[in-house]
């Protein structure tokens, strides 16, 4: 039997009838040594089997419901909705199996299969005529595809053929590595919770590696495109987009923002419920101050509907503004990338950008460094002046000498 310490607690680790057993004892080494002696005696007297019981089999579908209840109670609404969507895909594969029956090999096969699947099978693009209020007709584009249950699903795109073509192309593509990796990450966490809640003892997903080739998307707008977008925003949307590109705030942070979080005297917006669960204070520039001071207060929410309540979402109005501006392949979250990217291109140092973005570590911020290609050259050029005994000729005033007699 092995005895080891992890963190503040001592563990014992041994094998019984071919099964590996690990127990957390507590912070006392002597206590752990006593438990080892006790387990040895129980095994020798054939009493250990009475001490341990295998967890009752649990169907994946049933445990998925338990996990989603926990997710709804402990995660942000946006994270819960993502879990709900990912779980539908996992249920298609595993719902009839018990969580104890699922093996690492079965998860590996699922990963390989998902990688080759088409996003929306049987996708077909088409259009129909729709009468406008003035009596004229417009062409509306759509994409039909097979849903999860094999039923026909129709996605209405709108009057833009380019948007329909982009949606159709994405429908015919295979599943992105990032999507498969999110599903695997959820499965890994489900099993971690199953172990924590005493429903199972092993995590078969733990050894399954995530897919390579996941592209970290960084889509942003240049200043001219930002102005074009703002000029096409509806009245209720324009201040939201303005504050987004000048602060880097997430959509959820913007739509839930209250007036008591805005301090005009100090020029700070205080975010208390962030993605990282840490307070973040955002400095307001003059554009943000002017935008907020010019807004009518209809209730406690900064960005509110006519009745003073918060906007449920601004997706449709945002998509309309994008279409009018001729901007494609752009999401609301990309306004956050626009904030960071333009700062980096204006030579703001990466640590300051990290703090402004509220990133937990530097890894997330480093995705923007390629936008400042000269920052490394500028850094090492400092040593020309500091360390060199003979500075380069470009740094020394030169006297022109005539070679003629």
Structure letter (DSSP) for residue 301: B
Q: d(Cα 357, Cα 363) in Å, to the nearest integer?
A: 12
Q: Residue for token digits 């995705």? A: 367
CA angle 11, 17, 23 (to 5 degrees): 15
Q: d(Cα 32, Cα 25) in Å, to the nearest integer?
A: 6
132 token code pair: 């406008």
- How many C-beta neighbours within 10 Å does residue 265 have? 5
Strands 124-131 and 137-146, how do they pair?
Answer: antiparallel
Burial of 135 from C-beta contacts in 10 A (0-12 / 13-18 / 19+): exposed
Q: d(Cα 31, Cα 25) in Å, to the nearest integer?
A: 7
393 token code pair: 């000729």
Strands 137-146 and 152-158, how do they pair?
Answer: antiparallel
The pLDDT, as a whole number, for residue 274 is 76
- Of 202, 188, 179, 207, nearest to 67 by C-alpha is 188
**CATH fold label, 223-371:** hpI Integrase; Chain A (1.10.443)
Query: Splitting the chain (405 residues) into consecutive groups of 10 residues, what average pLDDT does each group show?
Result: 81 78 82 86 72 70 95 88 94 92 94 91 93 90 86 90 89 90 96 88 91 78 94 94 94 92 94 79 93 90 86 88 91 93 87 89 82 68 72 49 44
The pLDDT, as a whole number, for residue 262 is 94
The pLDDT, as a whole number, for residue 389 is 59
- Of 2, 15, 20, nearest to 201 by C-alpha is 20
Architecture (CATH level 2) of domain 60-117+177-196: Orthogonal Bundle (1.10)
Q: Beta-strand (E) ranges in 49-176?
A: 124-131, 137-146, 152-158
């Amino acid at each position: 039997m092995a005895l080891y310490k992890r963190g503040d607690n001592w563990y014992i680790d041994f094998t019984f009838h071919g099964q590996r057993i690990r127990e957390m004892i507590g912070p006392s080494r002597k206590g752990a040594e006593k438990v080892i002696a006790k387990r040895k005696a129980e095994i020798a007297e054939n009493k250990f089997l009475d001490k341990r019981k295998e967890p009752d089999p649990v169907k994946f579908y049933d445990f998925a419901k338990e996990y989603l209840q926990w997710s709804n109670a402990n995660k942000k609404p946006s994270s819960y909705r993502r879990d709900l969507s990912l779980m539908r895909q996992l249920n298609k594969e595993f719902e009839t199996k018990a969580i104890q029956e699922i093996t690492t090999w079965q998860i590996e096969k699922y990963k390989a299969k998902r990688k080759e699947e088409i996003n929306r099978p049987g996708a077909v693009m088409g259009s129909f005529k729709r009468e406008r209020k003035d009596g004229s007709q417009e062409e509306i584009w759509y994409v039909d595809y097979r849903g999860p249950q094999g039923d026909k699903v129709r996605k209405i795109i709108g009057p833009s053929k380019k948007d329909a073509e982009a949606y159709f192309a994405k429908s015919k593509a295979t599943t992105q590595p990032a999507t498969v990796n999110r599903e695997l990450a959820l499965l890994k966490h489900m099993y971690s919770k199953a172990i924590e809640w005493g429903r199972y003892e092993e995590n078969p997903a733990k050894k399954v590696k995530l897919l390579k080739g996941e592209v970290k998307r960084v889509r942003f707008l240049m200043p001219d495109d930002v102005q074009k977008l703002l000029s096409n925003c509806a009245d209720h949307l324009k201040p939201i987009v303005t504050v987004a590109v000048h602060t880097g705030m997430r959509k959820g942070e913007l739509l839930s923002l209250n007036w008591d979080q805005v301090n005009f005297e100090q020029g700070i917006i205080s975010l208390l419920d962030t993605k990282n669960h840490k307070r973040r204070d955002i400095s307001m520039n003059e554009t943000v101050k002017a935008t907020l001071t010019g807004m009518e207060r209809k209730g406690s929410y900064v960005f509110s509907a006519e009745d003073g309540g918060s906007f449920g979402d601004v997706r449709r109005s945002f998509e309309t503004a994008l279409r009018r501006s001729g901007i494609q392949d752009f999401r609301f979250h990309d306004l956050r990338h626009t904030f960071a990217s333009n700062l980096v291109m204006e030579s703001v140092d990466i640590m300051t950008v990290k703090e402004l973005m509220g990133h937990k570590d530097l890894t997330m911020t480093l995705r923007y460094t390629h936008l400042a290609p000269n920052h490394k050259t500028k850094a090492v050029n400092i040593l020309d002046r500091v360390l060199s005994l003979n500075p380069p000729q470009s740094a020394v005033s030169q006297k022109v000498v005539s070679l003629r007699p």
